[in-house]
Amino acid sequence: MQQKFYWLFGGIGVLLVVASTIGWLLQRRSPDSSTIANLVARVNAWWIMVAVLAAGFLLGRNATIVLFAIASLFALREFVTLTPTRPGDHLPLVVCFYVLLPVQYLLIGDDWYNLFAIFLPVYGFLLLPVLTAVSGDTEQFLERVTKLQWGLMITVYCISYVPALVLVQVPGFSVGNQNLLLVIYLLFVVQISDVLQYVFGKLFGKHKIAPRVSPSKTVEGFIGGGASAVGVGAALWWITPFTPLQAAGMAAVIVLAGFLGGIALSAVKRSLGAKDWGSMIEGHGGMLDRLDSVSFAAPVFFHLTRYFFEP
Amino acid sequence: MWLSHVFALLVRVLVGAQAQWIGCKPAPVLRIYYANHTSHLDTLALWCALPHHLRKTTRPVAASDYWNRGGLRGYVATHGFNALFIERDKDKRAGDPLEPLAQALARGESLVIFPEGTRRAQALPSPFKSGIFHLATKFPDAELVPVYLNNLYRSMPKGTYLPVPLTCSVRFGAPLARIADEPKEAFLERARQAVVDLA
């Protein structure tokens, strides 16, 4: 496990060194290009994100859970910031941030899968309209409650599926903290898919897939980047309980779900009137700009693994 | 003051309080920062948005009846953000309520004030009270920096006790131009407009 971990992060380190070098060379050639400045900023932010994740994984399972709880906090914060709220939403918002979010992650820490899976979709869903109603403000009631439920489902429930991978019991694989490798596998495939789709799109992109929703997504980018990401996922079979073919299949599902998540959340973002979810990650936008594909890919990957690989 | 570091971290996690220096740069000159007031978080957010070296010489002005009541709140105000108290209650006042503020400015300490005098539950500031006019007249060399705090009225509206995490930015505008012999009303409206322009 430790050895695989070091190989993996060593490899990611090499990738980042290559990316930084390319960025540095490009910037020397055309110092005024804003695209290249953004590229460099993105790579720099990747260094930090990888370092934070690696630290979390090294500290173990609980640290990883806490790390994603914090990521959820920031993502929910971005979602609520862009959503118009009224003073009557204060109580349900407080409950979302200070009760529902921590409890959802505590349930993972406590290995309580059955409640983890229904806590927010059932009890959170029922509780929020009650709290909003108690506040007495009925102006646009349904819209307000819906937006809150939506934000909670995406930023807390769906993202919590990433660390929840520690709950899956695959015979012969899930010993010690080895399931953290599944977390790394998921994140790596999603993010490399985003990066490769971006690169292929910039190099060969001609036909836009959804010009009004997500202008940077192209057919060429999706096919080229997606297929390469599936290749990368298959090549990483050795850190998973999957055979190379199974790993390719899982990667294909992750890539597709991530792509669809990117489009759906882009539409949500635009309907809220913003281009980026936030600005906390230099060059990338907000936390949710980085986790939009993850939030769709994580639950799908989790349930596929649980269904097919847990006896 | 370790407590102020704890607060700075807490404020960052809760509301971001990202500083945007639009009309001026952070500088160790005599300044009166004045901002719209919508939440108990305002003072902390604005103070945390200042670079660390400026916090030592910048005193947020806080209402005595709320912050100077001893206990945790008083401790936070004195040790957490180095507050300077102002007496709002006319009956309790002895002499000029602005006197402690003037003394601080005379010592070279910058101030953070909320000229609306109380919190308002709205995005744009209400008309200003005249304290800022008297301070400005008394200290013609102090820079009057308008500051706009967005979103905080959503994070912790009046009457609530827990802040909802929301990203808020702290926008610093260009120092207000000084016009000789400007009437009080015109000055107050112009100062207020400078905050509105940052919204």
With 0-12 / 13-18 / 19 or more C-beta atoms within 10 angstroms meaning exposed / middle / buried, residue B132 is buried
Cβ-defined contact of B164 to A93 (cutoff 8 Å): yes
Alpha helices in A83-179, H assignment, sequence order: 90-95, 101-109, 113-118, 125-134, 141-152, 159-160
- Are residues A190 and A222 in contact, defined by beta-carbon separation less than 8 angstroms? no
Tell me the chain B residues in contact with residue A78 when contact means C-beta distances shorter than 8 Å. 167
B-contacting residues in A 57-116 (Cβ below 8 Å):
73, 76-78, 80-81, 85, 87, 90, 93-94, 97-98
Q: Where do we find the tokens 């190989």?
A: A7
Q: What number of residues does chain B have?
A: 199
The residue type at B145: V
Closest CA–CA distance from residue A94 to any residue of chain B (Å): 6
| A295/chain B closest Cα distance in angstroms | 20
Q: Cβ contact (<8 Å) for A90 and B164? A: yes
Instruction: Give the residue from chain A lying closest to B162, CA to CA.
Output: A94
Who among A94, A279, A280 is closest to B164 (CB)? A94
Non-local (6+) Cβ contacts of B95 within 8 A are none
What pLDDT does residue A193 have?
Answer: 97
Amino acid at A31: P
Please check whether residue B112 is in contact with residue B58, taking contact to mean a CB–CB distance below 8 angstroms: yes
Taking the CA of residue A81 and the nearest CA in chain B, the distance in Å comes to 5
For the record, the structure tokens of A128 come out as: 């929020």
How much is the pLDDT for B1? Answer: 66
| Structure token digits, residue A283 | 């060059």
Contact A279 B160 (CB under 8 A): no
Q: What is the pLDDT of residue A280?
A: 85
| Contact assignment for B162 to A76 by CB distance below 8 Å | no
Q: pLDDT per position in chain A (311 positions), as tens?
A: 788 999 999 999 999 999 999 999 999 998 888 888 988 999 999 999 999 999 999 999 999 999 999 999 999 999 999 998 998 999 999 999 999 999 999 999 999 999 999 999 999 999 999 999 998 999 999 999 999 999 999 999 999 999 999 999 999 999 988 999 999 999 999 999 999 999 999 999 899 999 888 888 999 999 999 999 999 999 999 999 999 999 999 999 999 999 999 999 999 999 998 888 988 888 888 999 999 999 999 999 999 999 999 98
Q: Is-contact A187 A53, C-beta < 8 A?
A: yes
User: What does the pLDDT look like over A113-136, one tens digit per residue?
Assistant: 999 999 999 999 999 999 999 989
Phi, psi of B37 (to 5 degrees): -125, 115
pLDDT at B10 over 90: no
Contact: B16, A280; criterion CB under 8 Å = yes
pTM of the model: 0.91
**Which positions in chain A touch B16 (Cβ < 8 Å)?**
77, 280
pLDDT of residue A19: 95
The structure tokens 């009309």 sit at: B23
Query: What's the pLDDT score for residue B95?
Result: 77
What local confidence, expressed as pLDDT, does residue A121 receive? Answer: 98
For residue B167, give the nearest of A81, A85, A90 by CB distance. A81
Q: Which helix (H) or strand (E) is A241 found in, with range? A: none
B interface toward A at CB cutoff 8 Å? 13, 16, 18, 121, 151, 154, 157, 160, 162, 164-167
CA distance A309 to B137: 76
Chain B residue with the nearest C-alpha to that of A280: B16
Spatial distance between the Cα atoms of A286 and A102, rounded to a whole number of angstroms:
21
Mean pLDDT of chain B: 89
Name which of B129, B166, B170 is nearest B147 in CA terms.
B170
pLDDT per residue as tens digits for the range B14-36: 888 889 999 999 999 999 999 99
pLDDT score recorded for residue A179: 94
Q: Which residue has the tokens 């003394």?
A: B103
Nearest to A197 by CA among A228, A167, A238, A172: A228
Helix (H) or strand (E) holding A243: none
ipTM of the complex: 0.82
Q: What does the alpha-carbon distance between residue B68 and residue B78 come to, in Å, rounded to a whole number?
A: 8
Beta strands in chain B (DSSP E): 16-21, 31-35, 58-63, 84-86, 110-113, 143-149, 168-172
CB contact under 8 A, A81 and B164: no
Question: Measured between alpha carbons, how far is residue A222 from residues A209, A212, A299, B21, B138 in Å?
Answer: 9, 17, 21, 39, 65
User: Starting from the edge strand earliest in sequence, which strands make up the sheet with B168-172, in order?
Assistant: B16-21, B168-172, B143-149, B31-35, B110-113, B58-63, B84-86
Q: How far apart are CA A169 and CA B36, in angstroms?
A: 55
* Nearest residue in B to A286, CA atom: B167
pLDDT tens digits along B85-122: 888 777 777 778 889 999 999 999 999 999 998 888 78
pLDDT score recorded for residue B105: 95
Please tell me the predicted confidence (pLDDT) of residue B81: 83
> Which is it for strands B143-149 and B168-172: parallel, antiparallel or unpaired?
antiparallel
Calpha distance B37→B148 (Å, rounded): 9
For an interface test with A, the pick among B167, B169, B170, B171 (most A C-beta atoms closer than 10 Å) comes out as B167
- Region B132-159: what's the mean pLDDT? 91
As a whole-number percent, the residues of chain B with pLDDT over 90 amount to 50
Please state, in angstroms and rounded to a whole number, the distance separating the CA atoms of residues A186 and B79.
Answer: 46
* Residue B81 host element (H or E): none
Q: Do B162 and A98 make contact, defined as CB atoms within 8 angstroms? A: yes
The distance of B190 to chain A (nearest Cα, Å) reads 29
Find chain B residues with C-beta within 8 A of A75's C-beta: none
Hey, of A66, A73, A77, which one would you mutate to test binding to chain B, going by the most B CBs within 10 A of its CB? A77
Show the tokens assigned to A284.
């990338």
